[in-house]
């Protein structure tokens, strides 16, 4: 158990700190780290993507309300990269590249994402990367110069080690080798689990691991994630090639556990003697919620030393594990240097990695222009019920209204029998955006504001982009709608 390997007190501190991290606290019908019906929490929409939700005038504000149960948060892995003597010149070249980026970082901070966007991108391939500023406020949270330089260096590394490059093909041959020698490129291959929201936070965590360990992140996804995101790295791809030799094994839990970190620990050594572990050519990290316990040793400092020798790491998780790096002595200093404000980790990495594809961007912008653009204030309600049969709709609805009215997040309605709307030449227009698998919440709230005026005379419009009834795994259009709704909730 992890508590036998790492102190239980550390685990408790980790969980507490996770709850303080700004990991874009929204998840839509795609399902994520939040659930509705037990606790109701609200965040201002100021940390992630579409700030267009705030409109274009001075009094525009946006509020996100999320009803949630905070799930256990532990997750993920990446792969490590070190240059060999044979690549001395390549190493020196990369060192010069890094130095140049640090020196010129001020010149890069001219785009609407404060330097996160590499200027070599062609706008036509990803309109959202360059147009998102039209739909949002510029975030006051600036990425550190060190993070920007690190991203530029990573892009250089990914181009060098990316799919079908000479370095990639050479490292690919090591999959069948039992005698591991030094390689120029090392990889962390992300394997999806659960809904789109879980996938987004686990990808972001995996990418941070890649940055910290000089590994290359490759994404394995099926057709249900096709055309959701733009390629985040210029002149290369982050998609795992379809002809990858072990790809057919990913769905087999039996094979994943047989070649997992936990199995290696049991057969080779204890975690305290991890330096003595035999290094295989690849290793699975099963870090999903409630998954294989021994693989949780990934979060221990000693394990990371052993993982450095392994060229290929395959990571399956549905968790946001980025906060663990700020507690691990191996990564704490570097992670803090990248993110002096720890709560901005998902903000910056999300802005960098997850730009809607042109198809998804069309869904987002058309809905926004049709329903949200004219509103003076936007309020987002993300409602997730894990067990519909055990959680009556009426109880959840009562909790939502009680909390939102008490915190003055939703406009109060006038309950007097003979109430009449207060005349106003310029009434405030408020749009309430509801994202849920079920239509009942929309119908209830919409009916409430239709049948009764608000106390302050606001005009209320209620919208729900979709209500899929249940989570559709393997459905690309379902994920496309979920991605659009997630984006609406970010600012």
User: Whats the size of the chain, residue-wise?
Assistant: 491
pLDDT at position 314 is 95
What is the gyration radius of the CA atoms in the chain, in angstroms?
A: 24
Instruction: Please name the residue ranges forming H helices in 25-75.
Output: none
Tokens, residue 409: 């997040």
Strand, helix or coil at 101? helix
The position carrying tokens 């009556």 is 392
pLDDT at position 53 is 28
10 Å CB burial of residue 222 (0-12, 13-18, 19+) is exposed
Q: What is the largest CA-CA distance in the chain?
A: 85
Tokens, residue 252: 């087999």
Instruction: Please name the residue ranges forming H helices in 121-226.
Output: 127-131, 145-161, 166-172, 196-213
Tokens, residue 211: 């940055």
Instruction: Please enumerate in sequence order all residues whose Cβ is within 8 A of that of 163, keeping only pairs 6 or more positions apart, or say none.
Output: 218, 236, 237, 239, 240, 241
CB distance 188 to 140 below 8 Å: no
CA–CA distance, 170 with 176 (Å, rounded to integer): 12
pLDDT tens for 21-49 read 333 333 333 333 232 222 233 333 233 33
10 Å CB burial of residue 1 (0-12, 13-18, 19+) is exposed
CA–CA distance, 396 with 399 (Å, rounded to integer): 5
CA–CA distance, 243 with 269 (Å, rounded to integer): 34
Q: Which residues of the chain have pLDDT under 70?
A: 1-113, 178-182, 268-278, 290-292, 417-423, 467-476, 489-491
pLDDT at position 81 is 32
pLDDT at position 16 is 26
Measured CA to CA in angstroms, residue 240 lies from 189, 190, 328 at distances of 8, 9, 29
- The strand order across the sheet containing 187-191 reads 216-219, 187-191, 312-316, 282-286
Residue 383, beta-bridge partner list: 67, 436
pLDDT at position 335 is 98
pLDDT at position 126 is 95
pLDDT at position 437 is 85
**Alpha carbon 457 to chain centroid, angstroms:** 38
Measured CA to CA in angstroms, residue 364 lies from 223, 370, 399, 455 at distances of 20, 10, 29, 32
Strands 429-436 and 61-68: unpaired
pLDDT at position 73 is 28
CA–CA distance, 322 with 76 (Å, rounded to integer): 8
CB distance 323 to 352 below 8 Å: no
pLDDT tens for 64-101 read 433 332 222 222 223 333 333 233 333 333 433 333 34
CA–CA distance, 327 with 231 (Å, rounded to integer): 31
CA–CA distance, 64 with 118 (Å, rounded to integer): 30
The position carrying tokens 């994404």 is 219
Strands 61-68 and 39-44: antiparallel
pLDDT at position 467 is 59
pLDDT at position 94 is 40
Strands 187-191 and 61-68: unpaired
Report the run of H or E that residue 249 belongs to, with start and end: none
Strand, helix or coil at 211? helix
- What is the pTM for the complete model shown? 0.75
pLDDT at position 4 is 33
pLDDT at position 353 is 96
Residue 356, beta-bridge partner list: 229
């Amino acid at each position: 158990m992890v508590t036998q390997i790492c102190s239980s007190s550390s685990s408790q501190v980790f969980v507490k700190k996770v709850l303080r991290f700004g990991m874009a606290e929204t998840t839509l019908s795609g399902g994520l780290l939040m659930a509705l019906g037990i606790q109701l929490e609200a965040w201002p929409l100021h940390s992630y993507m579409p700030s267009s939700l705030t409109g274009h005038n001075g009094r525009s504000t946006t509020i996100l309300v999320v009803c949630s149960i905070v799930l256990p948060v532990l997750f993920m892995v990446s792969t490590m990269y070190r240059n060999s003597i044979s690549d001395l010149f390549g190493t020196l070249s990369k060192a010069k590249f890094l130095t140049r980026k640090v020196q010129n970082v001020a010149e890069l901070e001219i785009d609407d994402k404060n330097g996160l966007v590499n200027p070599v991108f062609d706008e036509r391939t990803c309109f959202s990367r360059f147009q998102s500023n039209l739909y949002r406020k510029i975030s006051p949270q600036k990425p550190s110069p060190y993070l920007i330089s690190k991203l530029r260096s990573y892009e250089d590394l990914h181009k060098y080690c990316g799919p079908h490059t000479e370095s990639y093909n050479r490292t690919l041959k090591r999959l069948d080798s039992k005698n591991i020698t030094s390689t120029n490129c090392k990889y962390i291959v992300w394997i999806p689990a659960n809904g789109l929201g879980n996938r987004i936070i686990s990808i972001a965590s995996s990418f941070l691991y890649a940055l910290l360990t000089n590994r290359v992140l490759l994404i394995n996804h099926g057709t249900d994630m096709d055309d959701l995101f733009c390629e985040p790295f210029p002149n290369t791809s982050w998609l795992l090639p379809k002809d990858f030799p072990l790809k057919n094994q990913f769905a087999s839990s039996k094979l994943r556990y047989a070649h997992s970190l936990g199995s290696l620990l049991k057969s080779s050594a204890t975690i305290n003697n991890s330096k003595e572990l035999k290094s295989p050519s690849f290793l699975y990290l099963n870090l999903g919620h409630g998954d294989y316990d021994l693989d949780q040793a990934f979060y221990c400092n000693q394990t990371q030393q052993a993982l450095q020798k392994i060229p290929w790491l395959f990571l399956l998780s549905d968790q946001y594990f980025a906060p663990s790096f700020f507690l691990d002595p191996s990564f704490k200093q570097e992670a803090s240097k990248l993110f002096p404000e720890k709560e901005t980790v998902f903000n910056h990495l999300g802005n960098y990695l997850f730009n809607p594809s042109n198809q998804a961007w069309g869904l987002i912008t058309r809905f926004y222009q049709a329903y949200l653009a004219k509103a003076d204030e936007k309020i987002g309600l993300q409602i997730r019920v894990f067990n519909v049969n055990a959680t009556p709709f009426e109880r959840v609805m009562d909790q939502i209204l009680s909390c939102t009215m008490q915190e003055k997040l939703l406009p109060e309605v006038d309950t007097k029998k003979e109430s009449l709307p207060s005349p106003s030449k310029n009434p405030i227009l408020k749009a309430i955006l509801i994202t849920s698998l079920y239509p009942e919440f929309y119908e209830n709230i919409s009916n409430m504001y239709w049948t009764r005026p608000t106390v302050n005379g606001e005009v209320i419009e209620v919208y729900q982009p979709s209500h899929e009834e249940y989570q559709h795994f393997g459905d690309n259009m379902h994920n496309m709608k979920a991605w659009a709704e997630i984006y609406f909730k970010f600012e």
